[in-house]
Amino acid sequence: MKDEKNIEEFTAFVMNEIDKDVPSHDFVMNVMKSVEVENEKSRLIIYKPLMPKSVWVLIIVLFLALTVYVFTGSTLNFYLISTLDINVLNELSEIDLFKHINFSRTFTLSFILFSVLVLVQLFVIKTYFNKQNVV
């Protein structure tokens, strides 16, 4: 108890002895000018997406091709590629890596539902952050 009283007295003594700093008369104006400069800098920032639209289109096409493959259980007929005479493509079409893989209907539907929900969530989050960045 005695120590606490001594600490309080010492603190009061130190606080009285310290000179109090007074800000300059144009302190508020300096702060407001720096805030305006920061606002101008933030307006000059141009945000670019991490993945351009062409990459998103490629991802969607690959996803749709995978979905068609899962539902039909066979590969798509490559009409344009079949007109070309390339032996490598014929050899690749004979190799059927996914011949013995069977997905249940439950897994297939849950995979598609999950994928659609992920895309919806990405869209919602993107629009939310776009609204937040509007100045």
Query: pTM score > 0.85 for this model?
Result: no
pLDDT digits (tens, 9 = 90+) for 48-104: 788 889 999 999 999 888 887 777 765 545 555 555 555 655 555 556 666 777 888
Residue 22 main-chain phi, psi, to 5 deg: -115, 125
Q: In terms of domains, do 40 and 59 share one? A: no
Q: In terms of domains, do 58 and 78 share one? A: yes
Q: In terms of domains, do 25 and 79 share one? A: no
Q: In terms of domains, do 58 and 115 share one? A: yes
In terms of residue numbers, what domain contains 80?
Answer: 53-133
Q: In terms of domains, do 109 and 61 share one? A: yes
pLDDT digits (tens, 9 = 90+) for 95-129: 666 677 788 889 989 999 999 999 999 999 888 88
Nearest-angstrom CA–CA distance, 78 and 71: 17
Q: What is the pLDDT of residue 8?
A: 85
Total number of domains in the chain: 2
The CA-atom distances, in angstroms, between 5 and each of 13, 28, 87 are 12, 39, 95
Q: What is the pLDDT of residue 109?
A: 92
Q: In terms of domains, do 32 and 88 share one? A: no
Q: In terms of domains, do 37 and 73 share one? A: no
Q: Left (φ > 0), alpha (ψ -120 to 50) or beta: where does 73 sit?
A: left
